[in-house]
Amino acid sequence: MRRTTVLPGVPSLPPGAGEVALHRLEVAGPDDPPFAAGTFEEVGPLSRWDQPHRHTFYEMVHVTAGSGVHVVDLARWPLRPPQLAVVLPGQVHHWEGGRGPEGSLVLFTEDFLVDHPGDREVLRRLGARCWFALEPEHDRAIGSLFAELAAEYRQRAAGHESVLRSLLHVLVLRAARIPGPTGSAGRAAGPRARGRAAAVAEAFTELIARSEAAGWSVRQCADRLGVTPGYLTQAVRAATGRPPGRLLIEARVYQAQQMLAHTRLSVRQVAARIGFSDPAYFGRFFRRETGSSPGAFRNHHSRHHQSLEASSGHA
């Protein structure tokens, strides 16, 4: 979605009073998928940033060397490679001390998961655990997937977006098989340790992912969660760096993308399902948020493998 990505050279959003910097995912062009993969050097200088900051995107990190500490939501995780880190949108993190991490990263926004919506819940669970020590067999498997994703991202051959989505799905499922961390640091990062506001923000995130919440207002969500709209806004801002209204819009777009990509519902029917009585207004809303019309988005996702078939036909 447009507000989660930026073109090269666009600066980070300046933080408000008492807030930390919010980084959006840099993409090469307006039609490029919201995805990046590569080494710390390839992804960019901010990938090792030592100042607390948040992202609008998911970050998975395969740490192969380095020393110091990775701080995520006040929990401190010593670098003892090989390790895997999973940072969710909105989590505050930074790298501290030592000589910094070496390895590879995979960055992507939530709408890149449109082909595998179940991965959202898997990633949420991984983000709650956050930090994983890798035994040799897991290190080899994870490292191989990171390398394949980086190579596919660099080469951008025919059908690369479909391949990236498929490889990412495998990476998420493989990561879910890794035994979780132990010790006080992992427990300290849990939502209960961060208080009621974090629990409310997490409940809000789960609520807006449901189809029946499409078109709800911030007030309606607050009523459902038993808090005031003001408290909900403060809790969600503290947890994600963004207002709940913006997250509601993004959830609405994501639901529309899923229906356009995976059902035979007409654009009018999709619009009605997410609370738009006027299909033309829905079309303008969808284009504003994604840069594409509903029809163009559907056409793109209904022919995922045509480029692969075409390339094999010319070989």
**Which CATH superfamily includes the segment(s) 192-301?**
Homeodomain-like (1.10.10.60)
Q: Which residues contact 74 (CB under 8 A, 6 or more apart)?
A: 92, 188, 189, 194
Q: Which amino acid is at 234?
A: Q
Higher pLDDT, 192 or 267: 267
The letter for the amino acid at 154 is R
- Structure-token pair, residue 27: 């993409």
pLDDT of residue 184: 34
Look at residue 306 and tell me whether its pLDDT is greater than 50. no
- Summarised one tens digit per residue, pLDDT across range 199-228 is 898 889 888 888 778 789 999 999 999 999
Where are the chain's structural domains? 2-188, 192-301
Reply yes or no on whether the pLDDT at 133 is more than 60: yes
Mean pLDDT confidence for 266-286: 93
213-226 burial: b if 16+ Cβ within 10 Å, else e: bbebebeebbeebe
**Domain 192-301 in the same topology as domain 2-188:** no
Classified by CATH at the fold level, domain 2-188 comes out as: Jelly Rolls (2.60.120)
The encoded tokens of residue 176 equal: 């879910």
Q: Which pTM was predicted?
A: 0.69
Range in 67-76, 189-198, 199-208, 278-287 with the lowest mean pLDDT: 189-198
Mean pLDDT lowest among 39-48, 75-84, 154-163: 39-48
* DSSP for residue 10: P
Q: Mean pLDDT of all residues in the chain? A: 84
Q: Which of 173, 194, 206 is nearest to 238 (CA)?
A: 194
CA distance 129 to 187: 8
pLDDT of 315: 31
Structure tokens at 155: 């080469």
